[in-house]
Amino acid sequence: MLKQRRMVAEQIAGALFEAEAAIDAAISKTAILTSVMPALRKDAGASALIGQDAVERASQAIMALAEARRAIVETHKELSVAQEQIGLGAVMVGDPGEKPSPAVGALVRGRRLREVAAA
């Protein structure tokens, strides 16, 4: 029974991590879109009036994605509670080979992050 619960928890964790990554990627991609529109408009010598509605809509999309991210983080917290409720509180769920990025490690250790140049 414990083996079955752990297997189910692993599948849920995998789906959760994929959903979290997808939302983060969508936020990043939409932020890039939002930032390039005014820059390219300026490079093209177009009026600031051109594309204003598109910039506003993209900004609204970022806010909606931020709300989605908050909801998925809350889902993560609730699943942690459920994990304890089914007796897997002391069991780490997820890929044991995965390690947090250096940025996450720095946050966990309480260090301040440095800004790096975009790749």
Q: What is the pLDDT of residues 6-17, one digit of tens each?
A: 999 999 999 999
Residue 112 has pLDDT above 70, yes or no: no
118's CB contacts (< 8 A; 6+ apart) are: none
Report pLDDT for 108.
40
pLDDT in tens, 62-111: 999 999 999 999 999 999 999 999 888 766 666 545 554 554 444 444 44
Domain assignment present for residue 100? The answer is no
The number of domains in the chain is 1
CA distances from 93 to 15, 22, 86 (A): 12, 19, 13
pLDDT band at 45 (very low <50, low <70, confident <90, very high): very high
Global confidence as pTM? 0.71
Domain assignment present for residue 82? The answer is yes
pLDDT in tens, 15-38: 999 999 999 999 999 999 999 999
Domain assignment present for residue 55? The answer is yes
Domain assignment present for residue 78? The answer is yes
Confirm if 33 and 58 have CB atoms less than 8 A apart: yes
Domain with 68 in it = 2-90
Interaxial angle between packed helices 52-85 and 2-43, expressed in degrees from 0 to 180 and rounded to the nearest 10: 170
Report pLDDT for 95.
54
Domain assignment present for residue 114? The answer is no
Rounded-to-integer distance, Cα 56 and Cα 48, Å: 13
Task: Please give the average per-residue pLDDT across 35-54, as a whole number.
Answer: 96
Report pLDDT for 89.
78
